[in-house]
Chains A and B, each alone.
Chain A
Amino acid sequence: MKKLVALACITATSVAALSGCGSSESSNGEVIVYNWGEYIDPDVLEMFEEETGIKVVYDEYETNETMYPKVEAGAAQYDLVCPSDYMIDKMIEKGLVQELNFDNIPNAKQYIGEQYYEQSKEFDPENKYSIPYCWGTVGILYNQTMVSEPITSWDVLWDAQYENNILMQDSVRDAFMVALKRNGNSMNSTDDAELNAAKDALIEQKPLVQAYVVDQVRDKMIGNEAAIGVIYSGEAIYTQRENSDLVYVIPEEGTNVWIDSWVMLKDAPNKENAEKFLDFLCRPEIALKNFEYITYSTPNTGAQELIEDEDIKNSPIAFPDLSQYNNIETFQYLGEEFDEKLNELWKQVKSN
């Protein structure tokens, strides 16, 4: 009995102690940030806190889809979120985000390259809601010792000589993007005939595919376990560093340019602090620090100038000239009905 009372006391005191330390607040308030996992250099957060005295409450998520219900329900009052293109489209449509006041975020207009704002118009038509943070392309990574000739087209993923040597992305829209682009259609197509053609193409391709993977592409390509894989450009540089036989190409039929951008939520409790935080992130030195930590391409032209490693600075993988392509696109949100239809088609592919 005594023991139990003692235990209860310990419990009560520890709960009290813990809830006590949660309520400490610094003088200049706070900013609550919801970002992808491993998507910022932790030093940057500390530097911001030191400089401004604003406490950063930092939270992370792993996919757009797990972030969305939390933000929609308003479970935690976030100020800033960093979703991908199509998700921003959806959040604008659902009225979850507010217009940014660029006058208070001068660095955003000064340093973020014009071409990235241009590309953002696919999901944020007037550039009112979002500031690009990271971006990249999707392409083919191949092992030049395992293929007979340089690869230039998505068609190679349907080439029977690479049977069991092909890695496809295991996500609905990425997989359909490949098939739609190969057929010469838009990856934001909602046309039934085009989508069915893409589905048939994916079914036709299935016997050749070694595996449908997400982030295992990296390890498998480095380990020479496959000859050809569909991969994000941000991963490509890292894999090349580990295995110099790997080559990354953007296929001639065009591809997906993805952009992860900062948006401010409609009822952000700390609007001013959030603006300061965004302005801080857009400083070239800070953007450079984040680029070095994340390794995904930065849209910050000031930071691009500051990169010391010439190979990276001029890398066509990290910083391809977007104006050179006329068939690159960015994902749009096409509505719930379309999502369901696409999921249904993908299920048919996977179960075939």
Chain B
Amino acid sequence: MTQKKQASERFTGFLKKFYVFLIFVFLYAPIVTLMVLSFNASKTRSKWGGFTLKWYFELFENEAILKAFSNTMIIAFLSALIATILGTAACIGIRNMKKRHQGIIMGVTNIPMLNAEIVTGISLMLLFISLGIKTGFLTVLLSHITFNIPYVILNVMPKLKQVNNSTYEAALDLGASPVYAFFKVVFPDILPGVFSGFLMAFTMSLDDFIITHFTKGAGLDTLSTKIYTEVKKGIKPEMYALSTLIFITVLILLILVNKMPDPKAKEKA
């Protein structure tokens, strides 16, 4: 009897592990494929031409790709940063509104997220044209800030709602200025929300193709638009090399962040 039970337990245990394994395969198999291909001497994916590092060397000589990479990073960082500041400020404003207005404003900020990206892209392009703004770096940055703000609000709002308003009022009563009270009392509590809003905005900006395509001017490329233009002639293996490097960098960063001792835990101890 116990044997049977043990066996069935072992079986369900196996099933659980297998399920997790399967999920990881689906998540990471494409990335692994790409990493393997970045070392393939042959340009086609269906033939293994031997191990090589030449794509990595060519990558660092390919100015167009490196320029696109730096553009992507600068735009992602700046747009996420600005959107985080604006979004957080918006949250504070929204929370101090009347209930009914809150609902309306939240609904309005959600629309851009539900809207098809191509609609946002084309309408932004038309807006810039009608305002006479020459498309280029600035227009891409503005567009990215625009579509990033709702994501920041989405992340910060719930955190802000958890904050007990009386601590803030107490700080004011004790003579703190509103700005000082906000940064000393409210901000530390909503920081996780702000931070995840920033990260989400950063990744959204990093990923974006369609809106960038319509709002970028001549001669400006981000990684996604650069990769997409290669579709007709086949994607260059240098791109595999770059993606591999980005993936490994992010992986190392994540490991470091998780290994680092939590400063708060130390303080308590």
Residue ranges of A at the interface with B (Cβ–Cβ < 8 Å): 1, 7-8, 11, 14-15, 18-19, 22, 32-34, 36-39, 42, 57-63, 66, 69-70, 73-78, 214-215, 218-220, 222-223, 225, 242-243, 294
Contact = CB atoms under 8 A, between A and B. Distances in A.
7 contacts: A11-B78, A19-B138, A38-B230, A59-B219, A62-B229, A219-B44, A223-B45
Nearest to A243: B47
A42 B183 CA distance: 51
A69 B45 CA distance: 33
A343 B78 CA distance: 41
Contacts of B44: 218-219, 222-223, 242
A39 B234 CA distance: 11
A57 B219 contact: yes
Interface in B44-93: 44-47, 64, 74, 78, 81-82, 85
- Centre residue among B122, B217, B230 by max chain A CB count within 10 A: B217
Nearest to A59: B218
A57 B46 contact: no
Interface in B164-217: 179-180, 183, 213-217
B129 interface: yes
Contacts of B85: 8
A242 B46 CA distance: 10
Contacts, number: 107
What DSSP secondary structure best describes chain A's contact surface?
Answer: mixed
A32 B218 contact: yes
Given A38-B229, A225-B46, A14 B74 contact: yes
A7 B81 contact: yes
Interface in B122-156: 122, 125-126, 128-129, 134-138, 141
A57 B228 contact: no
A63 B47 CA distance: 28
B4 interface: no
A146 B44 CA distance: 21
B33 to A, nearest CB: 13
Contacts of B213: 66, 70
A75 B137 contact: no
Contacts of A15: 78, 141
A37 B230 contact: yes
Contacts of A66: 213
A242 B78 contact: no
A75 B135 CA distance: 7
Contacts of A33: 218
Nearest to A36: B232
Given A14-B78, A22-B136, A38 B233 contact: yes
A70 B121 CA distance: 11
B128 A61 contact: no
A58 B219 contact: yes
A147 B103 CA distance: 67
B133 to A, nearest CB: 10
Contacts of B1: none
Contact of A57 (B138, B218, B226): B218
**Residue among B141, B180, B216, B229 with the most chain A CB within 10 A?**
B229
Contacts of B226: 60
Contacts of A14: 74, 78
Contact of B233 (A32, A70, A294): A294
Given A218-B234, A222-B46, A1 B183 contact: yes
B231 interface: yes
Contact of A219 (B45, B122, B129): B45
Given A11-B78, A70-B213, A76-B216, 8 more contacts: A22-B137, A37-B233, A38-B233, A60-B226, A75-B125, A75-B129, A76-B135, A222-B46
Contacts of A42: 64
B197 to A, nearest CB: 15
